[in-house]
Amino acid sequence: MMQNFNDGGLRTPYYLIDEEKLIHNLEILKDVSERAECKILLAQKAFSMFAVYPLIKRYLAGTTASGLYEARLGYEEFGGETHVFSPAYREDEFEEILKYADDIVFNSPLQVKKFASKAKEKGKNIGLRINPECSTQGDHAIYDPCAVGSRLGTTLANFDEDILPLLDGLHFHTLCEQNSDDL
């Protein structure tokens, strides 16, 4: 029997997840992860419905977060690895982020110089977001690190080689809503 949303039986907004489709997609991701020998993480900014984290964590290695509260959510509700990237970090929140994060990606060499030694002391992996200075975004300027006025990632002109010993990796955030042929 179909229930009427307006009769008080269900309150809106009401989110309905097709568990079979979710599992199907998660199985694809797990297969890609195994065949490519890589880790696939849940981007909480795109999908933070933690009620299904127990299911998702059977397939993925962990979560990504864009700040303190997403990092805490991923750490407490998902487990696995917690990766954090933020265009800016608040000094008064950074110590708490270190409790939850395994990997921290900074947006500039200045941030690396300011925070990386604290993170390294706690055994965290450190990355730096790179602005590739070559746009492939087309219609998605909001996601384009190369858009005019963007402050997402460091450019070659702003790169500081003195931070290289502090880095464990580089982060390229490109190809949003695109296929690999844009590479």
Domains in the chain: boundaries: 41-177
CATH code of the region 41-177: 3.20.20.10
Share of the chain above pLDDT 90, in %: 66
Write the pLDDT tens digit of every residue in 117-132: 999 999 999 999 998 8
Q: How does DSSP assign 118-171, residue by residue?
A: HHHHTT-EEEEEB--S----TT-GGG-TTSTT--SSB-GGG--GGGGGG-SEEE
The pLDDT of residue 106 is above 90: yes
- Report, as an integer, the average pLDDT of 46-67: 95
Read off the pLDDT of residues 15-37 as tens digits, 9 standing for 90 and up: 889 999 999 999 999 999 999 99
Average pLDDT over residues 7-22: 82
